[in-house]
Structure formats: structure tokens, C-alpha cells
Amino acid sequence: MQRKFITNLGFLLFLNLLIKPFWIFGVDRTVQNVVGAEDFGFYFVVFNFSFLFNILLDFGITNFNNKNIAQNTQLLNKHFSSILIIKLLLAIVYFLVTFLSGILWGFRGNELWILALLGLNQFFISFILYLRSNISALLLFKTDSVISVLDRILMIVICSVLLWGRVTEKQFRIEWFVYAQTASYLVTAMVALWIVIRKASFRKLNWNYPFFMVIVKQSLPFAILVLLMTFYNRIDSVMLKGLLPKDEGNLQAGIYAHAYRLLDALNNIAYLFSVLLLPIFARLIKKSERVDDLSKLSFTLLFVVSVIFSVTSYFYSYPIMDLMYEHYIYESAKVFSILMGCFIAISTTYIFGTLLTANGNLKQLNFVAAGGMILNISLNLVLIPRYGALGSAWTSLITQGVMAVVQVILATIFFGFKINFSFILRLLVFFTGVISINSFAQMLPFSWIKSVFIVIFASVILAGLLRLLNIKTFIGILKGTII
């Protein structure tokens, strides 16, 4: 299983690193600069608002389905037809709740139109993720990897034409960005649907009420977990708009969006780990096989990556924001330097939260997530009126840090992991070492970009010396001598 994880992770990362940097630094960054911080902040607020009730589109079905089909592949034919109908019914509920909530929150006119479009996009995203859960549950990771970047490839093509193709004399508008997303998600959903239909030997829709009730009952704990996590992950920008005057709220949300862009991109790397790990963990647990080696391997890889990027981002926050944006650079850099610390915590939760989910510890995870939501909202209520986007950044860092620590403790308890003090010491030494490397790099007579590459190279060497990255182990896994 470690070999399957490493080889498919490598392919998945290759595709994402090939496509997504151009999306982030080329297209998405350009859109933010062209439309301005206020307009993009408006989009960012509505986008995150459309995310709040995203669970109504899925109700935990995707996570449940991934785990269930991975352990019982023969059920794909039986479940697929009924779940399609359930997804369509849930979409109607989602649109009603989201639209009514938007009206109650104060959205009007163009805000409601953008909310409707982004709600449609959320439906496509949820549908794609459900289809991908079937593909990955069958351990067709390479196919799933291609689907995972298809929407971004299409968005790059469409947005590039609109931004640089001179097909119109009009200024690029944020609405065009949303339209490009809708078209890209629609095509990706159709491709993924075609693949799953072939694998499931699908012939016709089949409504089965008893099956519907079973799915809802079994998915409910997943649904509650996702709802709670969505609130403490996505409510920051919505509260920025709600707790500050309108124009100031959009501006602060735009500044927060500047800083959040890179964190969101890096979080996708951690998310890719969880996509691969959930079905693998589920199968290992069903077979009563050990999960500690794979857990340690995946956590170590993500910890090394997250520490390097988080610490380096703190030291080089201003030049990074100056490279990416044209306005509010100083304010964005302050938020970015704090917000990037969340990457370490989020990476940790993607490993241990996925492990606990595969093990069915949803009751405990829901209690933890509820605490995280209460903590996040409480801190935002206190910090946003005084510090704006910076207050939200500190809130996110504190909340994500607490969530990570608690989930590690829960995983240790439920799986009986032995506390490896030598391993913990090496992690602390690595973290301290990366800080020292960055501090030293500040004194080098090079451009900041060259210094960053030196920092990354030296940090990887340090990880190797501390045996956090072991080339012989990776080679052994790939050859199959280490399973």
C-alpha cells in the first residue's frame, strides 16, 4: 500500500505542479489585479458564502461513498443509480437554503446573481467530487489525477483568451471569471460522469426510498462533520463583510483573499494526500492491517513541505505579495505572514483527520469540529472589529492549530500509536533549523528569489540529515521491498 500511495502521489503531484502554478500565478493573480481588491473581495465573500451550505449538496455522501466502495467495490453498480437521484434532490434543497440565506444576509441585485452562479458551480464541484470518489475508491488513481486538473486546464484556456486574446475591448469583469468556472466545471463533470457510467455499467435511474434513508442515516455523521469544518474554514471573509462597514468589509475581504490565495493553493497539495489516503486507510483497517507506517510516512512528507513553505513565507511575505499584487501589498503581507502558519496545522489534520474518518470515529471528530467552529466565530467577533483581515488571520491560525493537536491526540488514542520521542525531537529540530536557515538567508547578498531557492535546498538537505526524508526508504517502497 505504501508503494501504491507513493507512486500515485508522485503522478498526482506532477500533474498539479504542472498545471496549478500557472493558474495561480498567471490567471488567478491577473484576475485579482485587473478587477481590483474591492471587486475581488466582493467575489471572495459571495464565494465563501456559497460554500457555507455546501454540505447540503453532498450530505457526507462523498466521504461515505469513498470509504464504502473502497471496502466493497461490488456495490458500485447498486449504489450509483440511486445516489444520482439523491444528489439532484439535495441540489434543490441547497439552492433554496443558500438563496434564502443570502437574501436574509442582505445580498441584493448583482450579489444574488453571482450567488446563483457560484451556487451552480458548487453543485458541479460537489458532483465532480462524488464521481471522483467512485474512481479513487476503485483505486484508479491515475484517472482520478487527470480529472482533478481538467477543470483548471479548461479555466486557464478560457480565462487566457478573455484576458490576453483581445477578443473584446471591454475591461475584464469578475462575472466573466465566474462564467469561465461554470463552463469548465460542466465539461469536467460530463467527462467524469462518462467514466463512472462505464465502470458502473449504468443503464437507468433507480429511485429506492429505503436505500435513500439508509444512505442519509449512514452519511449524517459525515454531513455534520463537513458542515462544522466548512464554517470554521470559510466563515472568516463572510464575517469580515458582516462586522465591518460595506466598503471596508469588501476591502478587508480582498486583502484577506490576497493572502489566502497561496495558502489555498498549498492546501490543495495536502488535500491530494487525503484523497489517496482515505480509500487506502479504509482497506487497511478493514483487513486489520497496520496503518502506523503509512501514517508516519505521509505525515512526515507533509510536515517537511508545510514547514518549509510556512516559515519561508513568513520571512519573505512582503516580496511575495509584491510579486503577486499591485495594491495593498503591505497589508496583504502582514496577513499572509500569519495565515501561512495554518498550512502546517491543516496538513496535519488532512492526515490524522482522514485516518480517523476511515476508522469511523465521526462522533469524536464532530465534537472537535463543533468546538473549532465556536472558537473560530468567537475569536472573529472579538478580533475583526479591531484588526480586520489581520484579526481573521490570527483566528484561523489559532483554530487550525488547536484542531490539529486534538486530532493527533485522538489518533494516538484510537490506534494505540507509541509516542516516538526521537521522531518528535527530529521534527522540532527541523522546524528550528528551517527558521535558522531563513534567518541566515536574510543576510546573503542575493535577490530574494535566489535566497528562497537556497532556503528550500538547504531545508531539504536538513530533512535528509535528520532522516525525515530517506531516499533509500523511497527506493525500497518503489521497488516493492518495503510494502
The 10s digit of each residue's pLDDT in 208-262 is 777 777 777 777 777 788 778 877 777 888 888 778 887 788 889 889 888 888 8
Phi, psi of 289 (to 5 degrees): -95, 160
| Under 8 Å between Cβ of 189 and 127 | yes
Rounded CA separation 362/226 (Å): 10
* Dihedral, CA of residue 167, residue 169, residue 172 and residue 178, to nearest 10: -50
C-alpha cell at 395: 483566528
Kindly state the DSSP code that residue 74 receives in the 8-state scheme. G
pLDDT at 6: 59
Residue-wise pLDDT tens digits, 291-306: 888 888 889 989 999 9
Q: Where are the alpha helices (DSSP H) in 106-140?
A: 110-137
Whether the per-residue pLDDT at 438 is higher than 80: the answer is yes
User: Between vectors from CA 269 to CA 19 and to CA 476, what angle results, nearest 5°?
Assistant: 105
Grid coordinates representing 354? 482522514
Residues 90 and 80: their CA atoms lie apart, in Å, by 15
Query: What are 241's three cell numbers?
Result: 463583510
CB distance 47 to 233 below 8 Å: no
Neighbours of 120 (CB within 10 A): 18
For the four alpha carbons of 195, 196, 200 and 206, in that order, the dihedral sign comes to negative
Res. 131: pLDDT tops 70? yes
Under the banding of pLDDT at 50, 70 and 90, the label for residue 54 is: confident
Q: What is the dihedral of CA 57, 371, 313, 353, to 10 degrees?
A: -60
Query: Mind listing the pLDDT tens digit for each residue in 448-457?
Result: 999 999 999 9
Q: What is the pLDDT of residue 200?
A: 66
- Give CA angle at 141 (137, 146), nearest 5°: 125
Question: How many CB atoms are closer than 10 A to CB 457?
Answer: 11
Report the distance separating Cα 277 and Cα 281, nearest Å.
6
DSSP-derived secondary structure for 352-398: HHHHHHHTT-HHHHHHHHHHHHHHHHHHHHHHHHHHTHHHHHHHHHH
Give the residue-averaged pLDDT of 438-445: 91
Residue 93 pLDDT > 50: yes
Per-residue pLDDT tens digits for 359-402: 888 889 989 999 999 999 999 999 999 999 999 999 999 999 99
The Cβ of residue 267 has, within 10 Å, a number of other Cβ atoms equal to 18
Instruction: Encode burial over 5-25: b for 16+ CB neighbours within 10 A, e otherwise.
Output: bbebbeebeebbeebbeebbe
With a cut of 50, say whether residue 175 has pLDDT above it.
yes
C-alpha cell at 315: 520571512
Whole-angstrom Cα distance, residue 132 to residue 189? 10
* Coil/strand/helix, residue 36: coil
Q: Which of 308, 313, 302 is nearest to 262 (CA)?
A: 313
Q: Is the pLDDT reported for residue 184 higher than 50?
A: yes
Residue entry with cell 480517523: 356
Higher pLDDT pick, 277 / 114 = 114
Residue from 259, 110, 230 nearest 238 by CA: 230
CB 284 within 8 A of CB 294: yes
Q: What pLDDT band is residue 320 in, cutting at 50, 70 and 90? A: very high
Q: What is the DSSP letter of 170?
A: S
- Identify the CA nearest to 47 among candidates 125, 163, 133, 129: 125
H helix intervals, 72-208:
76-105, 110-137, 141-164, 174-200
Q: What is the pLDDT of residue 43?
A: 86
